[in-house]
Amino acid sequence: MSDYLIKLQNINLIRQGRHILKDIQLEIRAGEIITLIGPNGAGKSSLLKLALGLIPASSGQRICLPNLRIGYMPQKISLPDTLPLTVKHFLKLAKGFQKNELYNVSQRLKIEHLLSQPMQRLSGGEQQRVLLARALLSKPELLVLDEPVQGLDVSGQSELYHLISDLKDELNCGVLMVSHDLHLVMAATDKVVCLNGHVCCEGHPQLVQQDPSYLELFGKSMPAHLAPYTHHHDHTHGEHCNHDHSGDKS
């Protein structure tokens, strides 16, 4: 096993009296995709920001390889309308990239035709591809993605997940992402971390899906009318996890 890129040890985060993250251990390695899942308010975004070093932990340690190149794709960014900025201007703000890289990456993400467009005029899906392009420009060793497929249709989602998986192989980078759609994530992910303030369970997707605490969060205990995600079907798992997902994606 390769060494870690970022390691979080006994991380606690307390904000305004609320214990948002409890005793988190997390190691991110090169060539590995880790997906964070969990209900709203579980602390997924906070954990991501902690891993990025954007916010300090209340206690615990974040150990990061020196000069680690991180590519970060936020959920979305909101640019002021007063700032005239084309997609190309925006991409060029990425730190330390080679010039021809800009064209390679835009080709790869099919955003060449958008380069001279103002950032403000992009659709949600286009903005996501541009944000991913910006994250890739610095040839990251670690790619951090905050709900990268949010708002895409199902085929768009699976396309983007494939792309991320391919990119991971090409760059041999580690990937840490937040997602709330489990079914598509499962295929490409090496490790799922199920978060609800603390780490409820973690491991290979197949194992996590059968974990009692996972079922507790996403399965039977959640009343259908409260469930924030698409997993509001009753889980009656057999041994081999025969999901009945009819009517899931409606």
- What is d(CA 87, CA 131) in angstroms, rounded to the nearest whole number? 10
> Could you tell me the two tokens for 28?
């991110």
List 26, 37, 72, 177, residue binding another protein (CB under 8 A): 72
Q: 74-110: buried (b, 16+ CB within 10 Å) or exposed (e) per residue?
A: bbeeeeeeeeeeebbebbeebeebeeebbeebbebbe
- Range 125-144, binding another protein (CB under 8 A): 134, 138, 144
Smallest gap from Cβ 120 to another protein, in A, equals: 11
The correct pick among 38, 39, 43, 74 for binding another protein (CB under 8 A) is 74
Piece of 48-56, 99-107, 154-162, 169-177 that binds another protein (CB under 8 A): 48-56
- Residues 48 and 43: their CA atoms lie apart, in Å, by 9
Q: Does 66 bind another protein (CB under 8 A)?
A: no
- With contact defined as beta carbons under 8 Å apart, do 198 and 60 qualify? no
**Per CB under 8 A, does 84 bind another protein?**
yes
Q: Which residues contact 222 (CB under 8 A, 6 or more apart)?
A: 231, 232
Contacting range for another protein; rule: CB under 8 A; set: 51-59, 158-166, 179-187, 193-201: 51-59
Q: Which of 7, 9, 60, 79 binds another protein (CB under 8 A)?
A: 79
Compute the distance between CA of residue 101 and CA of residue 99 in angstroms, rounded to an integer.
5
Q: Which of 17, 66, 95, 238 binds another protein (CB under 8 A)?
A: 95
Q: Under the criterion CB under 8 A, does residue 217 sit at the interface with another protein?
A: no
Residue from 9, 29, 60, 94 touching another protein (CB under 8 A): that is: 94
Phi, psi for residue 232 in degrees, rounded to 5: -95, 15
Interacting residues toward another protein by CB under 8 A: 16, 49, 52-54, 70, 72, 74, 77, 79-80, 82-86, 89-90, 93-96, 134, 138, 144
